[in-house]
Amino acid sequence: MFYVVGLGLGDVKDITVKGLEIVKKCDRVYLEAYTSILIDDIIDDMKSFYGKDIIIADREMVESASDVILHNADVEDVALLVVGDPYGATTHTDLVLRARQSNIPTKVVHNASILNAAGCCGLQLYNFGETVSIPFWTESWKPDSFYDKIVENKSRGLHTLCLLDIQVKEPTLESLTKKTRQYLPPRFMSVSQAAQQLVEITKTKPGLSTADLAVGIARVGSETQHIVATSLSNMTETDMGKPLHSLIIVGNIHPVESEFLAQYSTQELTG
């Protein structure tokens, strides 16, 4: 059986009882380590708690060498551990499809993800529109299609959860043509960086204002969880500490949402 097991939001004990029982019986256990990361470096804690060796599955293995993960999964029990929920990224959906195409039995164990835990700030999940991803800009590449989706959500009175870029084991441009790859240091977008890019877009495209209400959430589900509600302009200067961060652009705000969100606010909440 090929299992895809959600780990939740980052603590070693966030795994479900069902997930833990599966991991303990598996012959091989992989940890997918590029679409998201654990809030703290707890690999050794995982090995101890699960009673298993953990094989790190980086981007190259997951995207280009998935056969390594699926090898013998028709006669062995193999688990891929995923931070959050298994279906939070299309990469995991693709792996499940590949397994089924190879006649390998599959089973998915769900868990909490940022897609539902974003409600920790008090904004109601059924008031969210389409989720967007904000990538790091470069000098020559500044995509802004995500902005249009945020504006569309806001025009309907809906909030937008913005997932912020994570770059782990990204090869340098110089090494792409070489036999030996060299990698850039890991980078994790902060809410201030995301807000800065959004503010830059507002200079040439209508739809958002720098006075619009935004919510920054960091390290959700951990002991150091941090939430700030302020204007998009102020968010550009907000330091929320260590990753992972997510940004929410607020649509129309209900009185109950406003009351809950006020405890994290640096301004009057008008949405």
Q: Which residues are annotated as a binding site for S-adenosyl-L-methionine?
A: 9, 85, 88, 113-114, 164, 220, 245
Specify whether the CB–CB gap between 79 and 26 falls below 8 A. Answer: yes
E strand or H helix that includes residue 106: strand 106-109
Q: Cα separations (Å) of 168 from 32, 57, 120, 183, 192?
A: 11, 12, 27, 9, 20
Task: Provide CB contacts within 8 A for 135, sequence distance 6+.
Answer: 143, 146, 165
Annotated binding site: 9, 85, 88, 113-114, 164, 220, 245
Per the structure block, which two tokens stand in for 30?
Answer: 């992989």
Specify the pairing of strand 106-109 against strand 245-249.
Answer: unpaired
Determine the distance from the C-alpha atom of residue 106 to the mean position of all C-alpha atoms in its chain, rounded to a whole number: 23
Taking Cα atoms as reference points, which of 131, 150, 270 lies closest to residue 201?
Answer: 150
Q: Report how many helices (DSSP H) and strands (DSSP E) the chain contains, helices first.
A: 10, 12
